[in-house]
A = this chain, B = another copy of it.
Amino acid sequence: MAATIRDVARVAGVGLGTVSRVLNNSPLVSAATRQRVLAVMAELRYNPSQIARNFALGKTLTVATIAPFFTRPSVVERLRGIEATLTASGYHLVVFNVEAVERRDECLREAVRNDRADGLLLVSLAPRPDEAVALREAHLPVVLIDTCAEGLPGVSIDDVAGGHLATSHLIALGHRRIAFIGDPETDPLTFNFTSSRDRMLGYQQALAAAKLPLNPAYERHGLHGRYEARVLARELLHLPEPPTAIFAASDTQAMGVLEAARDLHLPVPEALAVVGFDDIDIAEYLGLTTVRQPLFESGARAVELLFLLLSGAAPPPAERLPVELVVRRTSMKNR
C-alpha cells in the first residue's frame, strides 16, 4: 500500500543504500542523484517507516516518564518541561501515572523489560536498590527528578534549605509557635522520597538556630492532600496552645491549612500565618507565601541530562536547582 524505500529505489533507478543515504542526509551522495531520489519520494508520497527504522537502529526515540499523581500541579509543571524539551529534539514522551504501589512496581518492571523507550525519567520516585540494579543491567539510562539516589543522576532542590527558608521567615516575623504539616514519614509508593522529610528537617534546624523549642505536637504528617492537611491543621489549631504559624510541605497542603483557618474563623495572617512550598500556579491567586522551586526547569534539565546519558556520556552528578522565598498575603508582618 504505502511506498517503501524499495519502491523509491526502483523508480529512481538507484540502489537501496542510496535512498537510505538521502534519507539520512549522508554527504556520500551526489547532488544530482539526491535530487532525483527526492523527486521520486515526493512523487510516490513516500513516508519513511519510523517503526522499521527504530527496529534497524535499535532505538525508539522515545522516553518514558513515570510519575505519581498527575493531578498534582507541581508534577504537571515538571511534565510540561519534559515534554517541551523532548519534543524539541524529536523524541516522544510516554507517560505513566502511578497512584498505587503495585502500579509503581509494575511500571518500573515493564520499563526495564520492554525496550519501548530509550531512557527513563522518574518523577518523585526513587528506584529501590534491586530496581536500580535491574535498570543498570538493562542498560536503561535513568534520570531522577525531585529525588536522589546513590549513583543515579538527577535534578532536585535543597529541600532542607527550603524548609529553613520558610521557617526562618516566620521566625523573623515574630512567630514563636510554628507548626509543620507534611507527608507521611514513610511511603512505599515514593520509596526513598525524602522531600517532605527534608523540608521538615530544615524547619527543625531553623527553629534550633533561633533557640526555639522543638514541639513534637507541632509536627503532623498525613497523606498529601488538601483534605488531609485540613484535618491536621484543625487538630493543631485546637491544641491548648495552638501555633500562630504553620509551614506546610506543599502548596496543596497549605490550601488545606487555609481551609481549616476559614473553618475556625481565624483571620490569615493576623491569627495564623501560612507558608507553603512549590509556588504552583494557584499560590499567587491565594496570596500564599511559599518557597518557589523551578518545576518546569527541573523537567527540562532532566531531559538534558538524559540526552547526555543517551549520547554515551558518563553519568553526570546529581544537580540541585535553586529555591526562593515568595512572600505574599498569608504571612504579612502582624506582630
Chain A interface (Cβ < 8 Å from any Cβ of B): 47, 49-52, 54-55, 58, 60, 62, 64, 70-71, 73, 76-77, 79-80, 83-84, 87, 92-97, 113-116, 226, 255, 259, 281-282, 285
User: Is the beta-carbon distance between B60 and A51 smaller than 8 angstroms?
Assistant: yes
- If the complex has contacts A94-B94, A259-B285, are A71 and B60 also in contact, measured as CB distance less than 8 A? no
| Cα–Cα, bound, A80→B72 (Å) | 12
User: Is the beta-carbon distance between A116 and B50 smaller than 8 angstroms?
Assistant: yes
- Residues of chain B with a CB closer than 8 A to A92's CB: 64, 94, 116
- Measured CB to CB, the nearest residue on chain B to A53 is B55
User: Is the beta-carbon distance between B55 and A115 smaller than 8 angstroms?
Assistant: no
User: Is the beta-carbon distance between A96 and B83 smaller than 8 angstroms?
Assistant: yes
| Most B CB within 10 A of own CB, among A52, A94, A116 | A94
Contact of A50 among B70, B73, B114 (CB under 8 A): B114
User: Is the beta-carbon distance between A70 and B60 smaller than 8 angstroms?
Assistant: no
| Cα–Cα, bound, A282→B72 (Å) | 12
User: Is the beta-carbon distance between B84 and A79 smaller than 8 angstroms?
Assistant: no
| Cα–Cα, bound, A238→B158 (Å) | 46
A45 to chain B, nearest CB (A): 9
| Cα–Cα, bound, A275→B314 (Å) | 55
Q: How many copies does the complex hold?
A: 2
- Residues of chain B with a CB closer than 8 A to A80's CB: 70-71, 97
- Residues of chain B with a CB closer than 8 A to A115's CB: 47, 49-51
- Residues of chain B with a CB closer than 8 A to A255's CB: 285
User: Is the beta-carbon distance between A116 and B51 smaller than 8 angstroms?
Assistant: yes
- Residues of chain B with a CB closer than 8 A to A71's CB: 76-77, 80, 281
A204 to chain B, nearest CB (A): 29
| Cα–Cα, bound, A76→B77 (Å) | 11
Contact of A76 among B64, B76, B84, B113 (CB under 8 A): B76
| Cα–Cα, bound, A114→B62 (Å) | 13
8 closest cross-chain pairs (CB), A and B:
A55-B55, A92-B94, A50-B114, A94-B94, A83-B97, A50-B116, A70-B80, A47-B113
- Residues of chain B with a CB closer than 8 A to A285's CB: 226, 255, 259
- Residues of chain B with a CB closer than 8 A to A282's CB: 282
| Cα–Cα, bound, A51→B97 (Å) | 22
User: Is the beta-carbon distance between B87 and A76 smaller than 8 angstroms?
Assistant: no
| Cα–Cα, bound, A50→B60 (Å) | 10
| Cα–Cα, bound, A331→B69 (Å) | 31
| Cα–Cα, bound, A76→B280 (Å) | 15
| Cα–Cα, bound, A51→B79 (Å) | 25
- Residues of chain B with a CB closer than 8 A to A77's CB: 71
- Measured CB to CB, the nearest residue on chain B to A49 is B115
Contact of A70 among B62, B76, B97 (CB under 8 A): B76
| Cα–Cα, bound, A51→B84 (Å) | 25
A52 to chain B, nearest CB (A): 6
- Residues of chain B with a CB closer than 8 A to A60's CB: 51
